[in-house]
Structure 1
Amino acid sequence: MLDRVTELLRSTPGLALFVCLGLGFALGRLRVWKLSLGGIAGTLLVALIIGQLGVTLDPELRNVAFALFIYTLGYMAGPSFFASLNRKALRYAVFTAIQMITLIALTCLATVLMGLDRGTAAGLLAGGTTSSSTLGTAGEALGALNLPPAQIHQLQANLATAYSVVYIFSLITIVLLTAQGVPLLMRVGMRDEAARLWEELGGGDRPEGSVAALPGFVGRIFRITAADGMTVATAEQALGAEAAVERLRRGEDIVVHGPETVLRTGDHVLVVGHRSALLHGEHVLGPETLGRGGHPMTLETADVVITDPRFRGWTLDRLHEEIPLKDRHGVFITGVSRMEHELPVKPYTGVSPGDTLRLTGAAADLAAHASRLGVRVDASVKADLSFISLGVVAGLLLGQLTVSAGGVPLSLGIGGGCLFTGLFCGWLRARRPTYGQYHPAAAQMISQFGLATFVCAVGLSAGPSALVLIKQYGVLLPVVAVLVTAIPALLSVWVAVKLMHLPAPLVAGVIAGQQCSTPAVTGAQKEAGNNTPLLSYTIVYAFSAVILPLLGPVIVALAGALP
């Protein structure tokens, strides 16, 4: 039976790929306490096991998958990365610098003391960052070495095995440090600190993330009696700034209205806004009514990417106050996201070019207001394949360029070339958003599939050699894994608390962000009870997502030069 399965997988590599992906992502969803491996690490573990049968994938498929992943990573990080290059945000880059410098130093020390080869050293560093992108660039760098194919294969096998072992222990370490270690070291309650920060941001008593019994943003129809003789502008002013008259029906006709339109007894108006502004609607306007059909009114939502650089560093409160009421009439911000992470919709939440605002209101108001902030995401277009393909082509060509330094040929390779063109194309898209649309959902799918395919190929080829490395180093790798994860994180905690005086939720966010660890920031959010850790996580993540992949080739070069 096993022979038939082995032969089937060997003769049908596509089948082997999707078996690894299916089982790997299923394994990655399993939870033990607060931890789960995630789909990428799960796929690598399954591939290492199936690789024992001698199943492999075409190296060219691996290269194509990696190019798509690393380009997409750069594309999505580009707007936030360049938007973070300002005085206020740049101070958070110190945490990425701590991660980078400490990791390189610790990995080099371990390489000398333990006699690690280049593949194992690179696996230690990549696993210590819990960064799958670093695994990818390190694997590509090993493949470019001027060594016999058998030796390169062995180094890549050691890379995959070391990464798998180290990743598990590093993940446990960073999740425990962010969720439990930070409040313990700071001697504060994470939930209390998060609630205090939430209040400073303009939050209310209801915990963020909970569901209100009644929605906060509503539409109501009123029959005009009390407001007879008022203009629309006067009625809106009486209701408050968070309400707008969106439709006026007089008799059987919908009337085109403006601020100076006078309301008459018997008119029906649709008013939209926050519930608190409409509570006294009957007193100001007249009795609430269910209305009747024939002229249905629907509200729309629009995702708008901020492109105007003048909004860099603005808070939502400033955005609300400095854009004239006539320009934002009937439009409400109901969501803010940065690099696919939802931020709190609170007055002091900061925004920058590249962030996405979710606006809600009438279609006409949205159409008029969206262009003042940036570009409206076309939900019907998921990916501009022409633009994306040309960006990948440029990255592959850039990676082919070689420069000689001291007689040593240096090149960016697929990883460096596609990362830089991805960053540039993402920035260009944010500045000139009429082309190059890459919907976040599509980008996440392509990025995840590309990286999963790459690690599957690496794991399958590494399978037969995996057990050798595990027997060679035994418990040393897990011990070193904890150290290379904990030491940079503890240094960052000291800097964040003693030098920058950050509150506990932001401290947890920065140490999760410097490792680009989604499980860690998720754990911090659960411990905090709200999304405040994301405020610092997204800034540091923007720097680390770009810098950490570059460490793969660096550590391969350094490990080869060490005695």
Structure 2
Amino acid sequence: MIVELLKSQPEIALFVSLALGYLIGSIRFGPISLGGVCGTLIVALVLGQTGARIAPDLKNIAFALFIFALGFTGGPQFFANVGRGWRYGLLSIVEIVSVMALIMIAVVLMKLDAGTAAGLLAGAATESAVIGTASEAITRLGLSDAQTSTLQAHIVTAYSVSYLFGLITIVLFTSQIAPLILRINLREEAARLYRKLGGDGALDEGQRLALPPLVGRAFKVGAAAGTEVAAFEARFGNNITVEHVLRDGAQLDATAQTVLQAGDVVLIAGRREAVIEAAGSLGEELPGEGLFKLLAKRVDVMITQRDVNGLTLAQMRERAAPEAGRGIYVGAITRLDTTVPALPGTVVHRGDVLTLIGTPNDVARGAKRLGYVIQQTQKTDFVYLGLGILVGMMIGRLGLNMGGVTLVLGTGGGCLLSGLFFGWLRSHFPVVGSLPSAAAQVLKDFGLATFIAAVGLSAGPDAIKLVREYGLALPLAGILMVLIPGLLSLWIGRMFLKLEAPMLLGAIAGQQCSTPAISALVGVAGNSTPVIGYTITYALSNILLPLMGPVVVGLAAKFG
């Protein structure tokens, strides 16, 4: 009865796959969890034995929405990383070249078909989007419907087997094995790097986050009487700001030229360490009741200005005119939806989102200088979204023939490139193309999960045959395709690129597009310095790897 119900109403199988899949994917084993996509695939493969099938049109629409949203959200960071951060970008190239070489070796030695080869790439590189671009490429090989379905089933089966072993390998390699190879204590190295970037190494990150990084205090001026505000702020590295002065009952707006007088009540704002240091030079601390709430305004600003691209936060403050930088503090840096340490030595790039904190006038001045304020809206511009996907579908029809291998981007590759362009365009002209980050995340999550469930349901019967045919060869291949690129990147990054160990390990996690790996790495390191390297390689690999799906299919079809 249940089998007949699932066959007659396959949408039930779809949502059962999503619900149970994400439940299974949320179960953690130490730092490792399968994730919702892999969990959905496993459940769908099981339910696929009942004969439940999802219409191909729904599968294609879901993938188009996912891949466009992936490109749209990654566009600003992708183009920002192409021209700079070449040392980290080189590691993404190492990943792609080495994995592609290993895939072709496996194709020749193991006689892999195009579907199994593409699934091995998707699983070993832990990049689910490859499944979609490769599946579409298989439909263009000119095979019968039965052969096409079999090869597409091999993609998801090879992916599910190699993904599990690849995921475990990259987590263990970055957080445990690589530090042993480098002969370093990762926590000590991360603490040293944190201090080098201008952080306070006295506290670990958990304690530091529990304390407010920006504070306001009121003092009655004593020892600082006769000092000009600009000189007083410069004495503490301009990490504090004298915002208001209460003199003889009258409130004054403090300028850089204001001279403090004995008995003035001043409201000081700034970084906690600097305010504590300045307290001894001011006088008696007061409750501050009745004064304005100082750090009440927070805005998220996307960096678009070329002249601040590649500067550290400290360099940005140094190069700003004294009045231009007063009262503006960076509370956080977000890159690809990942928080990067907002330290004086942290380099910022176009596409980064800075959380500015200060008075309304101060943050408005800073936002105008750096880029544009990200408006908090829940409205999606469906004209922009629909046009972007249509352009992607047209791009996907383009192809070329190289050495007898036909390469066609397909809807997946076309929508990915279109999403990149439309996302980049939105970052430079923010008045058009609203796609809130929450909406984009829903498109990515639901689109990919729906596509994976549909493919898994159709692959059910062929999955068992493939596992029986290759046995342990697929898991072993998945492990080698993580270890060999990881070891190459570790050697090149350390010996030739001279990268700091925490950021190098984060970059290796990013080149594998592995969120569990960076989470485990941050936990072992004790702070978030590895994230700095992770975001750059993740931005590049997350775009370049899906484009390799059609390439693998074309090469494997010719040589496999």
TM-score of the superposed pair, with normalisation by structure 1: 0.91
Change in Cα spacing, 1:330 to 1:451, as seen in structure 2 (3 Å) is same
Residue number among 539, 545, 557 corresponding to 2:554 in the alignment: 557
Residue number among 103, 106, 111 corresponding to 2:107 in the alignment: 111
Change in Cα spacing, 1:250 to 1:64, as seen in structure 2 (3 Å) is farther
Q: What is the alpha-carbon distance in structure 1 between the residues aligned to residue 235 and residue 401 of structure 2? A: 72
Residue number among 195, 203, 208 corresponding to 2:199 in the alignment: 203
- Say if 2:24 is the partner of 1:27: yes
> By how many angstroms is 1:408 displaced?
7.2
Q: What is the alpha-carbon distance in structure 2 between the residues aligned to residue 353 and residue 332 of structure 1? A: 18
User: What residue is the counterpart of 1:274 in the other structure?
Assistant: 271
> By how many angstroms is 1:406 displaced?
7.6
Contact 1:239 1:284 (C-alpha < 8 Å) held by counterparts:
no
Contact 1:313 1:351 (C-alpha < 8 Å) held by counterparts:
yes
Contact 1:170 1:485 (C-alpha < 8 Å) held by counterparts:
yes
Q: What is the alpha-carbon distance in structure 1 between the residues aligned to residue 238 and residue 288 of structure 2? A: 24
> By how many angstroms is 1:392 displaced?
1.4
Residue number among 163, 169, 174 corresponding to 2:170 in the alignment: 174
User: What residue is the counterpart of 1:68 in the other structure?
Assistant: 65
- Say if 2:184 is the partner of 1:164: no
> For structure 1, which segment, 126-135 or 381-390, has the greater mean C-alpha deviation from structure 2 after superposition?
381-390
User: What residue is the counterpart of 2:381 in the other structure?
Assistant: 384
> By how many angstroms is 1:562 displaced?
1.0
- Say if 2:150 is the partner of 1:139: no
Contact 1:191 1:528 (C-alpha < 8 Å) held by counterparts:
yes
SS of the residue aligned with 1:221?
strand
Q: What is the alpha-carbon distance in structure 2 between the residues aligned to residue 550 and residue 229 of structure 1? A: 65
User: What residue is the counterpart of 1:243 in the other structure?
Assistant: 240
User: What residue is the counterpart of 2:424 in the other structure?
Assistant: 427
User: What residue is the counterpart of 2:282 in the other structure?
Assistant: 284
Q: What is the alpha-carbon distance in structure 1 between the residues aligned to residue 209 and residue 552 of structure 2? A: 50
Q: Give matches, 1:33-72, under 5 Å.
A: 33-72=30-69
Q: What is the alpha-carbon distance in structure 2 between the residues aligned to residue 274 and residue 147 of structure 1? A: 65
- Say if 2:122 is the partner of 1:130: no
Deviations 1:499-534 (A, max 9, x none): 223332233122212211111122221121111222
Contact 1:226 1:286 (C-alpha < 8 Å) held by counterparts:
no
Contact 1:215 1:275 (C-alpha < 8 Å) held by counterparts:
yes
Q: What is the alpha-carbon distance in structure 2 between the residues aligned to residue 351 and residue 308 of structure 1? A: 11
Q: What is the alpha-carbon distance in structure 2 between the residues aligned to residue 407 and residue 109 of structure 1? A: 19
- Say if 2:518 is the partner of 1:521: yes
For structure 1, which runs of at least 5 residues remain unmatched after alignment?
none
For structure 2, which runs of at least 5 residues remain unmatched after alignment?
none
Residue number among 447, 452, 471 corresponding to 1:455 in the alignment: 452
Contact 1:227 1:286 (C-alpha < 8 Å) held by counterparts:
no
> By how many angstroms is 1:210 displaced?
3.4
User: What residue is the counterpart of 1:308 in the other structure?
Assistant: 305
Contact 2:407 2:550 (C-alpha < 8 Å) held by counterparts:
no
> By how many angstroms is 1:442 displaced?
3.1
- Say if 2:296 is the partner of 1:299: yes
> For structure 1, which segment, 159-168 or 492-501, has the greater mean C-alpha deviation from structure 2 after superposition?
492-501
Percent sequence identity is 45
Contact 1:238 1:284 (C-alpha < 8 Å) held by counterparts:
no
Code of the residue aligned with 1:120 in structure 2: it is T
Contact 1:316 1:349 (C-alpha < 8 Å) held by counterparts:
yes
SS of the residue aligned with 2:326?
coil
Q: What is the alpha-carbon distance in structure 2 between the residues aligned to residue 501 and residue 264 of structure 1? A: 52
Count of paired positions: 558
Contact 1:235 1:284 (C-alpha < 8 Å) held by counterparts:
no
Change in Cα spacing, 1:52 to 1:253, as seen in structure 2 (3 Å) is farther
Deviations 1:364-421 (A, max 9, x none): 2111111100111111246433322221121112212455668876532111111111
Contact 1:182 1:507 (C-alpha < 8 Å) held by counterparts:
no
- Say if 2:343 is the partner of 1:346: yes
- Say if 2:534 is the partner of 1:537: yes
